[in-house]
């Protein structure tokens, strides 16, 4: 359809091949003759590197944003909740494709970066866990990090911090920022479960933020499932290597017998009642951020006509 629309001849496009087969060899340089036998996108390679081979397994990569993939097996699931349907991987010419649902959190580590670079709340990322651990909770503070590049939010939404009092410390704000990541992950996991109709028993994690033990514990607490941190944190690189090594004619790895090597598993330690109460308050904060309406004045030099209204009270 797209080729017809853009008037592109189909015969000039490359042939679609699997994620794991020999495509050719390097023709020059010190690695001349080495076969090229694996091809995967960043997040899809991470799903494979986390060894999410089974239907119902999910992984989340934590960086500036978060990227989640949920293995739906050989079934292509069309989402009713705004998720993307994607081919996760196809490990060989004759094997069927494995599909996944994909969702993302636009602002995760970027919120911590904002606290550091814009608000000067912290001096370095290494301080985050220590400062946030000095308080046992957020002090009923909730942070909804809707920044200008967060395209998954409505255009009229704005980021908010709610629940502030004179007793609010920077530890509360930092902890609320970590919880904001976890709540958004829960949003996506619940959407994935609704689309597929079967539960997620645990969440595999990777990325720069997973060294933060407090974040991992909060994620487990607020989702109510174990969070599994692998020994090999570079899941994308591992997944790409696995696809290449599994290819027919290479045969370095037999993926059917590979098991993940786990560094740590974080289990929920709060009650379901506490979990749902905090999630409900987060959803209330989200509703408040949606309620902002910003109208830009016609005269950019005039501020008298600008209107910023909020139809709810904080």
- 37 is a domain residue: no
Share of the chain above pLDDT 90, in %: 81
For the segment 159-188, the average pLDDT, to the nearest whole number, is 96
- 13 is a domain residue: no
- For 37-90, write each residue's pLDDT tens digit: 999 999 999 999 999 999 999 999 999 999 999 999 999 999 999 999 999 999
- 289 is a domain residue: yes
Burial class (CB in 10 A: 0-12, 13-18, 19+), 250: middle
- Give SS3 for 174: helix
Which range has the worst mean pLDDT, 37-51, 153-167, 224-238, 276-290? 153-167
- Domain with 205, as residue range(s), is 42-310
CATH number at residue 86: 3.30.420.40
- Give SS3 for 233: coil
257 vs 54: which has the higher pLDDT: 54
- 34 is a domain residue: no
- 26 is a domain residue: no
pLDDT at 311: 38
Pairing of the two strands 98-105 and 66-73: antiparallel
- 133 is a domain residue: yes
Closest CA to 183 of 145, 135, 211, 149: 145
Residue 313 has pLDDT above 90, yes or no: no
Residue 300 has pLDDT above 70, yes or no: no
- 16 is a domain residue: no
> Do 231 and 85 contact (CB within 8 A), yes or no?
no
- For 262-278, write each residue's pLDDT tens digit: 999 999 999 999 999 99
Angstrom distance (rounded) from CA 303 to CA 314: 24
- Give SS3 for 227: strand
Angstrom distance (rounded) from CA 297 to CA 303: 7
- 78 is a domain residue: yes
194: left (phi over 0), alpha (psi -120 to 50) or beta: alpha
The number of domains in the chain is 1
pTM score = 0.88
Residue 296 has pLDDT above 70, yes or no: no
């Amino acid at each position: 359809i797209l080729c017809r629309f853009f008037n592109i001849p189909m015969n000039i496009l490359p042939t679609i091949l699997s994620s794991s087969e020999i495509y050719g060899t390097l023709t020059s340089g010190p690695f001349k003759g080495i076969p090229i036998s694996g091809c995967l996108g960043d997040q899809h390679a991470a799903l494979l590197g986390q060894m999410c081979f089974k239907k119902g397994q999910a992984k989340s990569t934590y960086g500036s944003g978060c990227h989640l993939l949920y293995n739906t097996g050989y079934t292509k699931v069309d989402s009713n909740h705004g998720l993307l349907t994607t081919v996760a991987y196809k490990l060989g010419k004759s094997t069927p494709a494995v599909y996944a649902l994909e969702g993302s959190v636009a602002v995760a580590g970027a919120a911590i970066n904002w606290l550091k670079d814009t608000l000067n709340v912290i001096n370095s990322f290494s301080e985050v866990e220590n400062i946030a651990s000095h308080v046992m909770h957020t002090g009923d503070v909730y942070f909804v990090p809707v920044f200008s590049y967060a395209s998954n939010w409505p255009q009229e939404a704005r980021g908010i911090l709610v629940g502030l009092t004179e007793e609010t410390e920077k530890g509360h704000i930092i902890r609320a920022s970590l919880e904001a990541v976890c709540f958004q992950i829960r949003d996506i996991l619940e959407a994935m479960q609704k689309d597929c109709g079967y539960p997620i028993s645990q969440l595999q994690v990777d990325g720069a933020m997973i060294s933060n033990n407090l974040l991992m514990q909060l994620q487990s607490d607020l989702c109510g499932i174990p969070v599994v941190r692998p020994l090999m944190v570079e899941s994308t690189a591992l997944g790409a290597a696995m696809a290449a090594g599994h290819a027919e004619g290479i045969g370095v790895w037999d993926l059917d017998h590979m098991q993940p090597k786990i560094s740590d598993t974080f289990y929920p330690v709060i009650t379901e009642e506490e979990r749902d109460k905090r999630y409900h308050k987060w959803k209330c904060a989200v509703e408040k951020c949606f309620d902002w309406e910003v109208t830009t004045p016609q005269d950019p030099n005039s501020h008298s006509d600008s209107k910023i209204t909020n139809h709810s009270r904080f």
